[in-house]
């Protein structure tokens, strides 16, 4: 299989789905002639033209609303926010229109729309542009929320998202766009609600998703040097959540650490830790450990920026804590 970047895998997914279904179109800031702020839409405007790859003004509320309306009318929009930080400007459209229309129409009106863009901490972007907002959207009934850690998963999940008849929050990561791994040339889909074991192990379960998964795998290798066999579970799908795979892994290892790069209060990670603590109570040999970013706005100073986020060292320490109670 060829090795390609996350950026190219996402572009392939959109290209393939636009070629397959002429109802699919891409809309957002700089997605057309500029080829996307992160060059994810490279070449799509030249191939599909102005009607299918649409540049917008810097008006997230406005073009998100246009996309929601287009989805209600039977099209299948992909809305690219230059960053999920800017989705705050469009929150009303997502919360009150995209997420609720199927319910409020008595099941008569679907909203098949994908909201995609980079989410979570990057580098040197300070407090307003380096936020992990997944828990805000996972909190809302009617939305599906997915976040991947490899190019392979990103392509398969994005194709599934575009074909889904519900609004999907598709969370990418700025620092991951250049990451490479093997992606098959033949078509494939990855279903929602299915976690993936990125590394099998028997001593402790490490649960995460998105960019931190690579860090968790590095921590697992360090633990292996000390004879500790860690299992790494990548959630991939936040809502729907694959609780069955979570419990199966924890019941095998009897110990669990959850890693999430968002803030700790009411986060995806804290919810997963609660689920494990509640549903695997009799299987646990130690309390669940939870690692998140510190409960502060993101510092600009790079040393502080790294200090407030999860790290390999923090993960290793937490794994040893649950092992040597």
Asked if residue 101 lies in contact with residue 111, where contact means CB atoms within 8 angstroms, the answer is yes
Which residues are identified as catalytic?
A: 60, 129
Whole-number average pLDDT of the chain: 97
Position 325 scores a pLDDT of 67
The order of strands in the sheet holding 144-147 is: 53-55, 24-28, 76-80, 114-118, 168-172, 144-147, 237-239
Full set of structural domains in the chain with CATH: 3-182 (3.40.50.970), 196-323 (3.40.50.920)
C-alpha–C-alpha distance, residues 325 and 322, integer Å? 6
pTM of the model: 0.96
Position 261 scores a pLDDT of 96
Residue 240, preceding peptide bond in cis (omega within 30° of 0): yes
Q: What is the pLDDT along the chain (325 residues), one digit of tens a residue?
A: 899 999 999 999 999 999 999 999 999 999 999 999 999 999 999 999 999 999 999 999 999 999 999 999 999 999 999 999 999 999 999 999 999 999 999 999 999 999 999 999 989 888 999 999 999 999 999 999 999 999 999 999 999 999 999 999 999 999 999 999 999 999 999 999 999 999 999 999 999 999 999 999 999 999 999 999 999 999 999 999 999 999 999 999 999 999 999 999 999 999 999 999 999 999 999 999 999 999 999 999 999 999 999 999 999 999 999 999 6
Position 1 scores a pLDDT of 87
* DSSP assignments along 71-139, one per residue: HHTT-EEEEEPS-GGGGGGGHHIIIIIITTHHHHTTT------EEEEE-S--SS-TTTSS---HHHHHT
Position 244 scores a pLDDT of 98
């Amino acid at each position: 299989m060829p090795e390609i970047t996350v950026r190219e895998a996402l572009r392939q997914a959109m290209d393939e789905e636009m070629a397959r279904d002429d109802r699919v179109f891409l809309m957002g800031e700089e997605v057309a002639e500029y080829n996307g702020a992160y060059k994810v839409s490279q070449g799509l405007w030249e191939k599909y033209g102005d009607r299918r790859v649409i540049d917008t003004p810097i008006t997230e509320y406005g073009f998100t609303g246009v996309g929601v309306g287009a989805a209600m009318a039977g099209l299948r929009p992909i809305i690219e926010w230059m960053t999920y930080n800017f989705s705050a400007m469009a929150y009303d459209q997502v919360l009150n229109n995209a997420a609720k229309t199927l319910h409020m129409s008595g099941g008569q009106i679907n909203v098949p729309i994908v909201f995609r863009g980079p989410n979570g901490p990057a580098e040197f972007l300070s407090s307003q542009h380096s936020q992990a907002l997944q828990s805000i959207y996972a909190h809302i009934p009617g939305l599906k929320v997915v976040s991947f850690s490899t190019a392979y998963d990103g392509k398969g999940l994005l194709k599934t998202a575009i074909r889904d008849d519900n609004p999907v929050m598709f969370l990418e990561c700025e620092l991951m766009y250049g990451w490479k791994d093997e992606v098959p040339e033949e078509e494939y889909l990855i279903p929602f609600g299915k976690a993936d074991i990125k590394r099998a192990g028997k001593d402790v379960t490490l649960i995460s998703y998105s960019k931190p998964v690579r860090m968790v795998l590095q921590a697992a290798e360090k633990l292996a040097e000390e004879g500790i066999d860690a299992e790494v579970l990548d959630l991939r799908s936040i809502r729907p959540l694959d609780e069955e795979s979570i419990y199966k892994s924890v019941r095998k290892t009897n110990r669990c650490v959850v890693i999430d790069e968002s803030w700790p209060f009411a986060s995806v990670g804290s919810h997963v830790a609660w689920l494990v603590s509640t549903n695997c109570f009799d299987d646990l040999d130690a309390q669940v450990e939870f690692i998140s970013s510190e409960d502060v706005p993101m510092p600009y100073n790079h040393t502080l920026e790294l200090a407030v986020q999860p790290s390999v060292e923090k993960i290793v320490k937490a794994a040893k804590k649950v092992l040597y109670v």
